[in-house]
Amino acid sequence: MTPHRPSLLTTLALSALLAITLPLASAVAATPAAKAPTALVAGVDYELIEGGAAYQPVTGKVEVAEVFGYTCPHCAHFEPAFAAWKARQPKDVSVALVAAPFGGSWMPYARAFYAAQRLGVAGQTHTAMFRALHEDGSLPLGNATADEIATFYAGRGVDRTRFIDLFNSAEVGADMQRARDFIMRSGVDGTPTLVVNGKYRVIGGQNFADRLRIVDRLIAQERAAGRPTARAKR
């Protein structure tokens, strides 16, 4: 039987095809496989908090607590990135804000935050407070009086007398102490600091985006360990 031989036209077509496909195959072979993200490293990316506990635990949710101060310029710079990150979190992530009572000018603004929380307006006034301090200059970065801060909240529909009463109340004093307790047991010594589930204090990251990526991976780690449950509801 005469062997089948391709025609000259077929041979030329095959040669052209090989000329195209062989370089492509070589390029694919030379392209490195996508690398899996490297594992987080304790002492580099985060510190494990011995005996830690969440600030305000919610069953079935992973808590991310931000310890901040209104007078802290780094916190003011971090706020837009953190707010955007918070807005895209799923239902099994709970975000807690912890105003640090570090003394001095930190104290009146921490009291103001907890008074605003009790009045149910902290969510609406949080970003505006940073703006008033660091952009508008309508509030002093030094020690502010309750009356000065009440003017800020009154301009946003809060009853002035009610705010000042809460600002000076034992309830807000208890909130301040709870914040101190959390900060001490979590080993927080600066702001902004992020604490995941009361177990991990984030210390790594070259910038805010890196820091939030570490938080995302710690959240995923907690999920993989069975916290929270899939039935969590907001």
Query: What CATH number should be reported for the domain holding residue 177?
Result: 3.40.30.10
Question: What range defines the domain where residue 61 resides?
Answer: 46-224
Query: Mean pLDDT over residues 185-210, rounded?
Result: 97
Average pLDDT over the chain reads 87
Taking 60 as the threshold, does the pLDDT of residue 133 lie above it? Answer: yes
Does the residue 19 lie in any domain?
no
pLDDT value for 226? 81
The answer to whether position 140 is within a domain reads yes
Q: Is the pLDDT of residue 36 over 80?
A: no
Domain count, the chain: 1
Is residue 116 in some structural domain?
yes
* Beta bridge partner(s), residue 201: 47, 195
Residue 73 lies in a domain: yes
Quickly state the pLDDT bin for 227 (edges 50, 70, 90).
low
152 belongs to a structural domain: yes
- The answer on pLDDT for 32 being more than 80 is no
Rounded to two decimals, what is the model's pTM? Answer: 0.82
In a domain, 41, yes or no: no
- Please indicate, yes or no, if residue 39 is contained in any of the structural domains: no
Q: What is the mean pLDDT of residues 28-53?
A: 78
Q: Is residue 195 in some structural domain?
A: yes
pLDDT at 123: 96
